[in-house]
Structure formats: C-alpha cells, structure tokens
C-alpha cells in the first residue's frame, strides 16, 4: 500500500468508526448501549406508541413512503402504529423528519452538507431525523430504525422481527452525525430472477415480478443505503417497476447487456443487429429506448455495445471477428453515439460503462478507450474476483456478484467468502475507485449474508467485524440472526462451509481458486446423463428464446458447443468428478454435522430462518456434491459394463436429489410458499426428472425416453419474460 493509500484508508476508517458497529448486530448493540438505566442518567427521551411522526407535506414522495415504513417499524416494536402528520401537535413527543435545509432553524443540524449524509438527534421534545438531501433523510429514518428500534434492514428476507417493548429511552443529549458514503453510487441488480418470478409473478401488474414484491426489494435496498437499482434483466424502459423505483427515490440504471435500456433479448426477428453495416438501426433503437423512460426520473445511463442476449458483439459482426482493434473502435464509436443521443434529451446526463468480459480485455490491451466523462466499471468473474488485473484507478467502480447464472456458480445458495469480498472491495477503496458499486443480487433471499456484507462495505468502505478475520463477521452476523449463544458455533460452520467445495481446474496459470457453485452439480449431471443416453441433445424449447437462431450461440454457453457431449468428454468428466467430489464429500459431511449441532442453540423463533439460510443451503451443496459423485460413478461403471453397480449408484443419486427437494420444501414456510417453483435456472427438479429417465434407461435401454431438452436457460426466460407477450424492441 502506498503512503497516500494508507492515509486514505486510515481516514475512511476513522470517519466511520463512530457508527460502523451499528450496521451490524443491532439487537445486541441496542441491549448493551441503550438500556433504560444508562439513559436515565442522561435525562431520557422516551419513545413509545404515543409518538407522532411529522413529515412536512413539501417533502418529496420517497420521504413520505420511508416515513410510513418507519411507522410500521414502531408498530412492530410498540404494538401500535403512530400517527403521521404534516405538523406537530400541541403536546407529546414527535419524530421530526426532513431535509436539513427545510427544518426550522432551531432543529437544523450543523455541518450536514455532504450528499446523503444524515443525523439523528434529540432536540427538546423532538427526535430529529434529518438528511443533507432527500436520500439522506430516508437513510436517517432507516438507520434510526436499525440502530435504536432493533429492526433488521433485511427483515423481509430474514423473517426477523424486533423484540416487543413498551418504551425505549434515549439520551436527551443524543446528537449523532453520519458521514457521506464511501461509494457514490450503490445499488442492486435483480438479475436472472427466476425464483422471484415463480414466487411472486407480476402478470396482473404487467411486470415479471409483482409490484408488491418490487416494493419490498426497493425498501430493502434503501434500508441498506442503496441509491440506485437495475430492476430486472430483460426489461423495457416503460415497465412499471421502473416508475416504482423512482417513486421510492432510487436512481434507475441499466446493465451492460442493455445499454440505454434496449431490450436486446427481444430484438425483432429478421432485423439486422450490426453496428458496422446498419448503425442507423441500432441508433433508432437507442433513441426509442431513451424516449420510452418515464419523464422526470433520475437515470444513470449505461453505455456500451454487446451482442444479443449478452453475447460478445463480435458474435454478431463478422467484420470485427479476430480483429480486436476494430472491435474496440466499434464499441467506442457506439458509446460516443449513445452519449450524443442521451444528451440531446438530457443535457446533464451521467454515464457509466460496465467492462464485462471482452470489454475489460479490450481496455486492458489498449483497444478500447473510454471517454473521461464515462465512469469505468470493472466486473468480477462471478466468483468475487474483480477482473481489472491491477489497472483499477481513482474515480472508477465495480460490478460485483454474490450470485451468478453461468452453469457453474451459485443461484440457490451462498458462495463468495467474506475475506474475498473485503479484499477485493478494499483494493478499490485504497485506489479511490469508489464512484460506483452495483451488486448482482439475483433473487436476494438465498444470499442475505453476502448482500448485507457488500452493501455495508460499500457505505462504510470497510466491513464491521471483518477486522477480526472472516470469523469475526460470521460471528456478528450469526449473533444478530440466531443469538449470542449460537453465534460461535455457526461462525465456525460458515468458515468451513465456504472452504468445503471442490474447485474448478484453473483456466490460466496463476488463476485464483474458483469453487463449485450449486449450479455445476446439476448442469454437469444432466449433461452427463443425456450424453450417455442419447449422445447429444435433440432439440431445445423455442418459446421465449431469442428470435435469432441457436447456432449463433454455440460456444457462448447457451447451447451444445464443441465441448458438450461425446463419449471421451463423458469418460474424462466422470473420472474428474469422482476425484473432485469424492475429496469434497467429507468436508461437506463435516459442515453438515456442525450445522445440525448448532441448530439446538438457535432460539425456536429463529429456526425457520435457520432452516432456510443454513440447513437448506448446506443440504443443497452437500447432497448435490454427493449426487454428482454418484452419477459419475454410475457413468464410469456403465462404461465398463458393471450395470448392477451403475443402477445402484443411479438409485443412490435419486435418493440424494430427493433430499434436496425435501430441504427446499422445508424452506417454503409461511409467505415463502412456492419459493422454489421458479427454480428454472439451476433446475433441481429437472435433474430429478433426468435421473429418473437415466435410471430407467440403465435397466432397459429399449424404454421410451422422455423428450430431451437442451438446458440452455431459455426455459427460465420463457417464464421470466412471459408477461411481455410478443413485444419486441422498438427499432422503427
């Protein structure tokens, strides 16, 4: 670390030290720091059910919505929802909320000027929650609720209700200022949203996910102090969740595959997508997308050029194939054109470009020049390793995954360890590359631990608890969610959990280890069984797949490419997985024993969430590892004519995948009924079906086979995008 970076890091740690601990372990911090006896010595200010929340009618709509959330939090704690008014009553204590500049002079906090900074203070008979701006005021409310009422910012996903109380005493001298965030832009990307779509379909709202569920997504992101959102994967600029995000006070942005919001997964059939030969078609699509966004909303415009359905642009344009210099030039020209189009309508527009896959390589090799007014954002690889190769610079940012759909990583469970998160984000903080942080949250519920970690890190510039090594953060998280008694045991389990998976063979010398995520077990198992039965997939679901032909996707990870299938592939893959999964299985068995033992220490009220976030998570990985091991052994025995052994191993695999399904069903309690109905991407149920066909085939190869399907992921998008009907991107 250079001397300058060391000073910057020390400054950031010092600036946030006063309230970092409040971002984690709220109930314990509350019980230790805000007990009635301590407050009484400071002439306590009392909170109870009789409070009135005061929000001036001139405050923006998002502030009023957050104030209603605060009132709901009061109701959870005190049993009654306080009145919300636009002015204080004659008597009684009030919670006064607003932007600092709009408050009465005697209630206005001093030195609150940095964007999104806020304060919490007692002033006479008022508790004043104020911000330097609209979002600062919103964060003040949510921080107060978290720090003093004990409300988990992810309560909706963790099912964590605060303890009931009759009153809470605060020091009458309370006056805390909370500085501006370390990362300027911070937000969620709801991506590959199969579970959310299946659980809360939004057809009646003309959205893939219901607007009620979207509202909870936005509330959660704001409680974690996000200020932007990418509201879905293949969406249109006028989809209703975009307006709903703006109404919540969030900046709307786009991801790398849909620059300016063009839904390229719905590119019209037989319309050329080639910026070299028909730039006017793409330019019309960009103009139409810009015009389609709701008026008067905040937008951070994503610019760049990818192919259809997030393929490399080179796959669409023969003229740039094998010519990186020309490819970089084309992407750079597209960025310049996109900026001109946006600025013609929005002169003060701000721009970002996410360097995904070939974009990062082209910049690193000098073939792609990003305009200085565009924020350069480096993406990670899906495993938490950011792909800047040390080239990160001040003013840049990162697009980070805690979940990713690539047939190898995680869609159903946690995968990225805390030390990797803090190490990679720490590099960017040290480099002052803190303009932008977007986290791919996929379906949110399976990754609450790491979503909370990255969002706290993006706000603070470091992670509370991680200073004590990863075990410190795991222990703090476990104490918050499952109590102090269970925390040490669960922390140990998490440490072993993240160390348990087998690892992929490195693609290049010096690559860091990349774990098996929950997808690889199922994707590879299905490929192996289909290859044994029919040697190659016969057909795919057409449905909502792109209007262009499947052969264009060969080798892109969306269909049967050169490395898919074949008896030699089958032989080597089975042998590798017998070794890899065989080595990993004892580690997973040990994690399971720790998880089961720790459950007895968890309070009864928190055991449903423990079932979902720990027991189901471990089961999915442990039993899926065992399933791939059994299938690999079955394939190997079948290849050598040991059919009795192969049949028994197939039966073992069927029993194992049934255990995964049972664990998933146990996690579908209460409002989470049908949560796994949308498991269209990992496809545990599809693995079970394929196993049934494979087991029957081993017993009698003359049996009729179920129709084989190329598991390209487009079945998921048939459902995710079904609400769009036959709509295509507007290029007229």
In this structure, what CATH number is given to the domain that contains residue 98? 3.30.379.10
Domain assignment of residue 33, yes or no: yes
* DSSP per-residue string spanning 208-256: SB-HHHHHHHHHHHHHTT--EEE--SS--TT-HHHHHHHHTTPEEE--T
Domain identity same for 236 and 197: yes
pLDDT number for residue 709: 57
Question: In 115-216, where do the E strands start and end?
Answer: 118-123, 126-131, 168-170, 175-178, 185-189
**Tens digit of pLDDT for each residue in 167-186?**
999 999 999 999 999 999 99
pLDDT number for residue 510: 83
Residue in the block written with tokens 């960025």: 335
Domain assignment of residue 504, yes or no: no
**Tens digit of pLDDT for each residue in 523-580?**
999 999 988 988 655 544 444 444 444 333 333 333 333 344 578 899 999 999 999 9
Domain identity same for 643 and 537: yes
pLDDT number for residue 536: 55
Domain identity same for 412 and 264: yes
Domain assignment of residue 383, yes or no: no
Domain identity same for 494 and 627: no
pLDDT number for residue 301: 98
Domain identity same for 288 and 422: yes
Q: Which residues pair with 188 in a beta bridge?
A: 229, 439
pLDDT number for residue 558: 33
The CATH number assigned to the domain holding 257 equals: 3.20.20.520
Task: Indicate the pLDDT class of residue 505, thresholds 50, 70 and 90.
Answer: confident
Q: What is the DSSP letter of 148?
A: I
Q: Is 497 helix (H, G, I), strand (E, B) or coil?
A: helix
CB 378 within 8 A of CB 396: yes
pLDDT number for residue 88: 77
Instruction: Output 357 or 402, whichever has higher pLDDT.
Output: 402
H helix runs in 500-536, sequence order: 518-534
**Tens digit of pLDDT for each residue in 644-682?**
999 999 999 999 999 999 999 999 999 999 999 999 999
pLDDT at 201 over 80: yes
Q: HEC profile for 408-465?
A: CCCCCCCCCCHHHHHHHHHHHHHCCCCCEEEEECCCCHHHHHHHHHHHHHHHHCCCCC
Domain assignment of residue 266, yes or no: yes
Domain residues for the domain of 409 are 185-354+367-377+395-467
Of 145, 178, 211, the last residue of a domain is 178
pLDDT at 32 over 50: no
Q: What is the rounded CA–CA span in Å between residue 409 and residue 514?
A: 9
Domain identity same for 251 and 114: no
Backbone phi and psi for residue 229, each to the nearest 5 degrees, phi listed first = -155, 145
Domain identity same for 226 and 324: yes
Q: Is 257 helix (H, G, I), strand (E, B) or coil?
A: coil
Percent share of the chain, pLDDT over 70: 88
**Tens digit of pLDDT for each residue in 409-448?**
999 999 999 999 999 999 999 999 999 999 999 999 999 9
pLDDT number for residue 469: 72
Task: Indicate the pLDDT class of residue 715, thresholds 50, 70 and 90.
Answer: confident
Q: What is the rounded CA–CA span in Å between residue 351 and residue 471?
A: 38
Of 178, 200, 227, the last residue of a domain is 178
Domain identity same for 38 and 57: yes
Question: For the stretch 643-673, what's the b/e string if a residue is b when 16 or more beta carbons lie within 10 angstroms of its beta carbon?
Answer: eeebbbbbebbbebbebbbebbeebbeeeee
Q: How far is CA 550 from CA 202, 262, 309, 545, 556, in A?
A: 29, 21, 12, 9, 10
Among 564, 580, 583, residue whose Cα is nearest residue 524: 564
**Tens digit of pLDDT for each residue in 333-359?**
999 999 999 999 999 999 999 999 899
pLDDT at 2 over 50: no
Domains in the chain, number: 4
Question: In 158-208, where do the E strands start and end?
Answer: 168-170, 175-178, 185-189
Among 340, 316, 367, 322, residue whose Cα is nearest residue 553: 316
Domain assignment of residue 430, yes or no: yes
Pair of tokens at residue 233: 């994967």
- The average pLDDT across 69-76 equals 98
Among 233, 299, 297, 227, residue whose Cα is nearest residue 260: 299
First to last CA, the chain: 53
Domain identity same for 461 and 553: no
**Tens digit of pLDDT for each residue in 585-638?**
999 999 999 999 999 999 999 999 999 999 999 999 999 999 999 999 999 999
pLDDT at 152 over 60: yes
Pair of tokens at residue 307: 């192919």
pLDDT number for residue 386: 97
Task: Indicate the pLDDT class of residue 157, thresholds 50, 70 and 90.
Answer: very high
Domain identity same for 291 and 251: yes
Residue in the block written with tokens 């510039």: 461
Domain assignment of residue 286, yes or no: yes
Task: Indicate the pLDDT class of residue 705, thresholds 50, 70 and 90.
Answer: confident
Domain identity same for 247 and 276: yes
**The residue count for the chain:** 732
Pair of tokens at residue 657: 């995948």
Q: Which residues pair with 355 in a beta bridge?
A: 378
Domain assignment of residue 8, yes or no: no
Domain assignment of residue 431, yes or no: yes
Mean pLDDT for the chain? 90
Pair of tokens at residue 393: 């610079």
Domain identity same for 463 and 476: no
Q: What is the rounded CA–CA span in Å between residue 231 and residue 240?
A: 10
């Amino acid at each position: 670390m250079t001397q300058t970076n060391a000073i910057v890091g020390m400054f950031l740690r010092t600036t946030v030290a006063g309230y970092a601990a409040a971002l984690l372990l709220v109930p314990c911090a509350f019980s230790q720091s805000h007990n009635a006896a301590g407050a009484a010595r400071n002439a306590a200010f009392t909170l109870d059910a009789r409070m009135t929340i005061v929000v001036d009618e001139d405050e923006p709509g998002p502030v009023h919505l957050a104030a209603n959330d605060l009132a709901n939090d009061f109701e959870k704690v005190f049993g009654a929802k306080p009145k919300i008014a636009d002015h204080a009553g004659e008597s009684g204590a009030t919670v006064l909320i607003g932007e600092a500049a709009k408050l009465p002079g005697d209630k206005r906090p001093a030195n609150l000027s940095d964007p999104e900074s806020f304060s919490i203070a007692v002033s006479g008979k008022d508790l004043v929650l104020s911000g330097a701006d609209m979002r600062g005021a919103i964060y003040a409310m949510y921080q107060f609720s978290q720090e003093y009422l004990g409300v988990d910012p992810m309560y909706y996903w963790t099912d964590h209700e605060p303890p009931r109380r009759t009153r809470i005493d605060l020091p009458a001298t309370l006056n805390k200022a909370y500085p501006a965030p370390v990362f300027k832009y911070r937000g969620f990307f709801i991506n590959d949203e199969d579970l959310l779509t299946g659980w809360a379909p939004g057809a009646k709202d003309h959205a893939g996910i219901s607007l009620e569920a979207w509202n909870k997504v936005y509330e959660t992101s704001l409680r974690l102090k996000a200020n932007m959102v990418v509201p879905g994967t293949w969406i249109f600029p006028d989809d209703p969740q975009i307006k709903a995000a703006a109404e919540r006070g969030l900046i709307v942005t786009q991801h790398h595959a849909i620059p300016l919001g063009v839904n390229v997964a719905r590119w019209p059939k037989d319309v050329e997508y080639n910026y070299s030969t028909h730039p006017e078609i793409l330019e019309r699509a960009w103009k139409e997308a810009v015009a389609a966004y709701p008026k008067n909303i905040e937008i951070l415009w994503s610019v760049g050029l990818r192919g259809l359905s997030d393929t490399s642009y080179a796959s669409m344009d023969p003229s740039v194939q094998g010519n990186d210099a020309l490819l970089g030039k084309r992407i750079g020209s597209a960025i310049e054109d996109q900026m001109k189009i946006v600025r013609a309508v929005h002169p003060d527009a701000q721009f970002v470009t996410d360097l995904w896959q070939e974009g990062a390589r082209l910049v690193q090799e000098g073939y792609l020049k990003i305009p200085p007014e565009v924020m350069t954002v480096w993406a990670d690889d899906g495993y938490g390793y950011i792909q800047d190769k040390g080239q990160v610079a001040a003013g840049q940012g990162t697009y980070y995954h805690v979940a990713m759909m690539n047939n190898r990583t995680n869609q159903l469970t946690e995968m990225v360890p805390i030390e990797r998160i803090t190490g990679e984000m720490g590099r960017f903080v040290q480099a002052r590359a803190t303009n932008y942080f977007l986290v791919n949250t996929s379906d949110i519920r399976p990754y609450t631990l790491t979503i909370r970690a990255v969002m706290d890190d993006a706000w603070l510039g470091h992670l509370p608890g991680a200073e004590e090594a990863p075990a410190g953060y795991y222990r703090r998280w476990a104490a918050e969610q499952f109590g102090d008694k269970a925390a040490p045991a669960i922390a140990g389990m998490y440490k072993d959990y993240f160390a348990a998976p087998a690892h992929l063979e490195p693609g290049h010398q010096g690559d860091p280890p990349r774990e098996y995520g929950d997808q690889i077990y199922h994707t590879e198992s299905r490929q192996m069984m289909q290859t044994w039965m029919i040697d190659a997939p016969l057909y795919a679901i057409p449905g909502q797949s792109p209007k262009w032909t499947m052969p264009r996707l060969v080798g892109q990870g969306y269909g049967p490419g050169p490395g898919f299938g074949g008896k030699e592939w089958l032989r080597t893959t089975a042998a590798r997985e017998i070794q890899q999964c065989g080595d990993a299985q004892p580690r997973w068995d040990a994690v399971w024993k720790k998880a089961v033992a720790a459950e007895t220490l968890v309070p009864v009220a928190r055991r449903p969430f423990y079932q979902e976030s720990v027991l189901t998570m471990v089961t999915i990985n442990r039993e899926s590892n065992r399933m791939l091991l059994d299938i690999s052994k079955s394939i190997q025995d079948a290849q050598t004519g040991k059919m009795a052994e192969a049949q028994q191993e197939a039966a073992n695999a069927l029993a194992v995948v049934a255990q995964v399904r049972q664990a998933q069903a146990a996690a579908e309690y209460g409002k989470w009924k049908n949560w796994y109905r949308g498991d269209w991407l990992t496809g545990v149920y599809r693995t079970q079906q394929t196993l049934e066909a494979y087991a029957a085939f081993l017993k009698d190869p003359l049996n009729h086979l179920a129709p084989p399907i190329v598991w390209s992921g487009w079945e998921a998008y048939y459902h995710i995008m079904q609400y769009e009907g036959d709509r295509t991107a507007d290029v007229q």
